[in-house]
Structure 1
């Protein structure tokens, strides 16, 4: 009794002494059952068939004990778990409802009515994944003999007819119609064979979907493909629709995966079926943000998996596992390795790598950071080294062989992932297999995509390892792509010149045990040099003093912060300090990036001046290197989400970010227009100008990275497209982005 009293006190309830014993026992038993039901419902997503069946039996027994007395609490738990995106557990939840329908028909009828209202509410409020999950749940309820075929067909038709009506109306965004079609097309394989027996009603559904698929526009496919040559990179809805056609031609061959309802066929067949209430589809709401389209990523040609739609179901299961456990790389890797062992070994491993890399390189942006995907693959390699290293090597060879068509927007993520993967295995993976791709004389041009890839990959590897160790690992034929030893290049100052005299005095003072900033200011005041040369010499001496490590450099900047802040007041001053930094660390791009970002965070250099510095003529060749774009995106992140410093109002921060983003876009467009005219005068084809293609890709990358912010500069982008002297490739890219980002309007009629 003492233990029970203590438990009630902890939960903040009345003590057992003040409650009748009988009522207390009833309340306690009911509460314990509800907690157990909730726990078992949460665990039913386990991917072990035996464990799922055991939990279904337990849940049926527990819920049956609670009905009809505790109906409200039970239905609340059921609706909470069902009203979610579609998952591997959806069929298990449907099986539980089907088993309860045998003995509690009125309760399940009430539950179905509530779920139809939940579906309508999800569509009304733009909870798209929840709406799709509920539609899939109703589909599984048909398989469990809970609802009749006419109800599910009527539900499908309400979605499909809205697609055609929206397309004919022309006022609804295509993204809305695409979502409705996607819901039905992905649910059809689960019950297509049974529905086909219904005759004309099912034919009407297929015909309606066919009409919509023939008329819909697909301008986004060119923009969202990871490779510019769109082979094997098809629109997601087209891919699923082709699989529906294939299934229908083959009499709806069933997926090999076994649903839990198959083990309860005899009991489920004895239940009465329900007729679903009518679903009232909501009106078009232009304020809602509809799900954006995507392109299905394929790098492996596994024809066997395309049979019976196995590939789609397997990819859904892989993606679900990754999304549930990606924050714990070991648990996620264990789940995926178990899936590989349970399915066709190497074939499943190819699918896992394809799905993870496809998510990592997805456009406009990946759902998680690159490290989340790379760390899971590394853990899988540790568990199945022979298999996983082989599959990743095959994937890497595909990327290298198609490097010329890889979108620049995916380039950084690919290099970051591959360098991280190699750093976990002594940088010894793949060199001998890649070497033949780099022996061709055509890639001797330093702007060739393969040359850029190898050069940037080696730089990233050097950040994660030791220069000499990596040099000894890499084949001699690839040494020409290696960056120099990343040491500081201290400039020589002639003591007979004013510059040399100033440097000598500054070095003497900076070398003191305690540097006095006031003395530094006096030395600068005595110098006869102009302001910009003074700044250049000062930053060179300060960085030279701290060149031993990042810690020393940042400590030196902290000491001299006041002096530098007082000196740097305009764009020319800022460029002088950045010029000194880049000249000293010309052989170490990581130092250039880190120190420049630190100057921004210390409010020594303003963001707009770093952007203008990046696009100065002296750095034109460096625009093909990753570090400058890393710096640009770091600057824009800092302005959009300031981490430290004075508190800036949201409106002011938004205003600064909008102008900074527009400034970066305008500078890239200006450089592209100049290069286009130069090629036109020289009668050179644009395909032969690697620099132009790279900068065009970087414009795409910038717009992808800040895709959610495009509406802030939409009017300026439209005006830019209609302006004079705009080259055609730039106009096409901006128009494609505008078509994709206008989420509240129909897709404009622009040629892809």
Structure 2
């Protein structure tokens, strides 16, 4: 290894500058910041080779270890955690430090093992995987001997023999071992060949006895395709077997430690005690199983389906996305700079992996906005290649819409409409005219939803100009309100019309909410002869219609009106029946502009004029069956469910904070009895708030599943012979979607659901969705 002085002034990682810095400025904080920057940035684009930079950085760190050892070790550890796609770079750097300073290497190993145990104890499985991979890769850098890694792997696989544990627990520990083998398998094969063979045999035995009743509920495609959709662990097992058949040699990973073999081989490697695996706890939520996603046909497809290079490439793409999801430009740049040293196309694999994460069930891996913005950035960064690959992938997805999971169709429509809005809505629209040949087909519904979302993102006339003439019939009506009552001086015998005129007059006179309530109370006697039921129904409808009528100019006018007359709404809309009337009235006004309808619903929910339970009852009522398959219904359903979950989370967090303060005050002699009493009361009040939020959330989920069962039973009763209708398939998939997307909440009500709703008397097709869901954690 060359020891020449470094003179390249263009290098971003100028270690001479770091030395000058230390000579010219002795402030520890500035030196620590500089060291941190050097460590984090190693491996970035540079005019010098990675090996040269690693050697020089190791020299700089070695010189500073006496004074800044803890800072250096902490930064190295944090770098691996935050930038796991550089794991081999940091393994090499740690190896070089270990070769010169055995004690530092030992401390780093102990830190990594301790943090791994802590992650397992807390149920933080994603960070734990990074630590397992780091420990495994440090075997290649001669920091750790192969013996403790082999013992750790064997103890992980030993979890599969624990009695009465969910399969998800044993799956994760087996996955942790398999996911590390591409990095360390070759070294273990050389040094621990017999132990590795026994480990592989144990894993094979476990893979064969696994049960997978949940698989069909996680499929993106409802029919068999090639390459087939596989359970994630089965697929990885086949890829590791492919690695084994090739002598544990892969052709993708860059291993910089190989350039330093003459240095590292003479270093003393470390051992560590057996990693403590916590006992199973029912409160721990293990990662849910997944299925593989294949879309773009690549060359030699039959050879690459189970090649280990595919797994390594996909894992590299995902680790970059997880690390850089807050910076789409940096993320796109790093993805496009990945090496393409395998039989797989880099661009095809990037697009396929991004779509795989977007269509992962039950939840997308990343927020849809990040996925959309990343694809846009990739297209802009490589305009000659990526748009073509993305267009090909989009075409394949459209061709498969008929067999695509309904949840994935929804995500596809959301992504594609947003993507088009950033590229002037240019698309080969004539290719989609085939959707017009079938009424109520999934393709027709998909194109209709895409066009509706495009209208939201642009405006009606713009989309009419862009699309082909045959597709115009799929556009929603031109957005405009449809108010039942208008201002008029004409007399009427209809009490509702008269009440509306009185309200319009009060609004025009700018009367206060209290005065408007007086107008309504007066009308109860003069117009409805104190008929409470008739007055309550009419007043709720007329009030909503009138407020939305005066606020129809813009969304800000409408929301201001609702906010101003909040007390009036609460005085009139008191129970569930009035809330349903309110919702029907809002829908009749803004049926042609769903975007405004959703915003107004959100406003009323935040002001607590209506309850999420009433919204669910309304959306899944017989009156709304005509819109059951429209995506906006499910957007609102999910919005209500998220709002309930958020309210409970906030209440729990507040309660936890107050409990911690109360505990600290109880142990402090400086706290007065009055302060303790206030905190004690706060704990009691927040405990009640948590209980109430939990009960409301439970009520919403119970109503939702009850309405689902009623609607499905009605359909099955009316169409008993039509066992595989598109409507039935859609409804069952939506039931499945709700269960899976909120699996933590639904599992907490599992016993109640089994006793009240999903009983032995429930239709087998509905019950199958629930039992498959329960198997995710069995």
Give the root-mean-square deviation of aligned CA atoms: 3.2
Whether the 8 Å contact between 1:431 and 1:474 is mirrored in structure 2 is: yes
Instruction: Specify the alignment match of 1:324 in structure 2.
Output: 323
For residues 510 and 443 of structure 2, what CA distance do their matches in structure 1 show? Answer: 50
Aligned positions of 1:64-463 closer than 5 A = 64-66=62-64, 74-81=72-79, 84=81, 87-109=84-106, 111-163=108-160, 165-166=161-162, 169=163, 171-197=164-190, 198-229=192-223, 231=225, 232-304=228-300, 306=305, 309-339=308-338, 347-436=345-434, 438-440=435-437, 443-444=438-439, 446=440, 448-463=441-456
Q: 1:499, CA displacement in angstroms?
A: 4.2
Range 27-36 or range 518-527, more displaced: 27-36
For residues 344 and 560 of structure 2, what CA distance do their matches in structure 1 show? Answer: 52
For residues 581 and 476 of structure 1, what CA distance do their matches in structure 2 show? Answer: 32
Range 184-193 or range 718-727, more displaced: 718-727
Whether the 8 Å contact between 1:318 and 1:336 is mirrored in structure 2 is: yes
Rate the CA distance shift 1:318–1:47 in 2: closer, same or farther, 3 A.
Answer: farther
Rate the CA distance shift 1:668–1:102 in 2: closer, same or farther, 3 A.
Answer: same
For residues 312 and 239 of structure 1, what CA distance do their matches in structure 2 show? Answer: 9
Q: Per the alignment, in what secondary structure is the counterpart of residue 624 of structure 1?
A: coil
Whether the 8 Å contact between 1:561 and 1:604 is mirrored in structure 2 is: yes
Q: 1:631, CA displacement in angstroms?
A: 1.9
1:42 matched to 2:36: no
For residues 709 and 286 of structure 1, what CA distance do their matches in structure 2 show? Answer: 14
1:519-548 alpha-carbon deviations (Å, 9 max, x no partner): 543663332383123432332233222212
* TM-score of the aligned structures, taking structure 2 as reference length: 0.83
Aligned positions of 1:462-477 closer than 5 A = 462-477=455-470
Rate the CA distance shift 1:522–1:674 in 2: closer, same or farther, 3 A.
Answer: closer
Q: Per the alignment, in what secondary structure is the counterpart of residue 649 of structure 1?
A: helix
Instruction: Specify the alignment match of 2:562 in structure 1.
Output: 557
Instruction: Specify the alignment match of 2:726 in structure 1.
Output: 690
Rate the CA distance shift 1:327–1:105 in 2: closer, same or farther, 3 A.
Answer: closer
* TM-score of the aligned structures, taking structure 1 as reference length: 0.85
Instruction: Specify the alignment match of 1:670 in structure 2.
Output: 710
Whether the 8 Å contact between 1:721 and 1:734 is mirrored in structure 2 is: no
Rate the CA distance shift 1:692–1:102 in 2: closer, same or farther, 3 A.
Answer: same
Instruction: Specify the alignment match of 2:753 in structure 1.
Output: 717
Q: 1:699, CA displacement in angstroms?
A: 1.0
Q: 1:373, CA displacement in angstroms?
A: 0.9
Instruction: Specify the alignment match of 1:726 in structure 2.
Output: 762
Q: 1:406, CA displacement in angstroms?
A: 1.9
For residues 318 and 66 of structure 2, what CA distance do their matches in structure 1 show? Answer: 38
Unaligned runs of 5+ in 2: 1-21, 652-684
For residues 279 and 398 of structure 1, what CA distance do their matches in structure 2 show? Answer: 46
Q: How many positions carry a matched residue from both structures?
A: 704
For residues 522 and 102 of structure 1, what CA distance do their matches in structure 2 show? Answer: 87
Range 707-716 or range 379-388, more displaced: 379-388
For residues 388 and 566 of structure 1, what CA distance do their matches in structure 2 show? Answer: 57
For residues 547 and 30 of structure 2, what CA distance do their matches in structure 1 show? Answer: 68
1:660-706 alpha-carbon deviations (Å, 9 max, x no partner): 111111111221122122222xx22x22x222211111111222232
Whether the 8 Å contact between 2:83 and 2:320 is mirrored in structure 1 is: no
Rate the CA distance shift 1:629–1:273 in 2: closer, same or farther, 3 A.
Answer: closer
For residues 540 and 495 of structure 1, what CA distance do their matches in structure 2 show? Answer: 19
Range 106-115 or range 389-398, more displaced: 106-115
For residues 74 and 633 of structure 1, what CA distance do their matches in structure 2 show? Answer: 46
Whether the 8 Å contact between 1:393 and 1:430 is mirrored in structure 2 is: no
Rate the CA distance shift 1:51–1:507 in 2: closer, same or farther, 3 A.
Answer: farther
Range 298-307 or range 691-700, more displaced: 298-307
For residues 70 and 335 of structure 2, what CA distance do their matches in structure 1 show? Answer: 38
1:303-337 alpha-carbon deviations (Å, 9 max, x no partner): 55558522222212221222222212222233333
Q: 1:211, CA displacement in angstroms?
A: 0.9
Rate the CA distance shift 1:53–1:535 in 2: closer, same or farther, 3 A.
Answer: same
Q: 1:385, CA displacement in angstroms?
A: 2.7
Q: Per the alignment, in what secondary structure is the counterpart of residue 641 of structure 1?
A: helix
Rate the CA distance shift 1:99–1:592 in 2: closer, same or farther, 3 A.
Answer: closer
1:246-287 alpha-carbon deviations (Å, 9 max, x no partner): 222233342233211122122223334445544454444444
Rate the CA distance shift 1:187–1:724 in 2: closer, same or farther, 3 A.
Answer: closer
Rate the CA distance shift 1:217–1:411 in 2: closer, same or farther, 3 A.
Answer: same
For residues 286 and 506 of structure 1, what CA distance do their matches in structure 2 show? Answer: 60
Instruction: Specify the alignment match of 2:659 in structure 1.
Output: none
Instruction: Specify the alignment match of 2:510 in structure 1.
Output: 514
Rate the CA distance shift 1:291–1:637 in 2: closer, same or farther, 3 A.
Answer: closer
Rate the CA distance shift 1:617–1:207 in 2: closer, same or farther, 3 A.
Answer: same
Whether the 8 Å contact between 2:250 and 2:309 is mirrored in structure 1 is: no
Unaligned runs of 5+ in 1: 1-23, 748-752
Range 373-382 or range 567-576, more displaced: 567-576
1:23-48 alpha-carbon deviations (Å, 9 max, x no partner): x9999477665544333222236376
1:586-619 alpha-carbon deviations (Å, 9 max, x no partner): 3222232222332333333333222222222111
For residues 537 and 640 of structure 1, what CA distance do their matches in structure 2 show? Answer: 32
Range 122-131 or range 293-302, more displaced: 122-131
Whether the 8 Å contact between 1:37 and 1:59 is mirrored in structure 2 is: no
For residues 775 and 459 of structure 2, what CA distance do their matches in structure 1 show? Answer: 46
Rate the CA distance shift 1:503–1:708 in 2: closer, same or farther, 3 A.
Answer: same
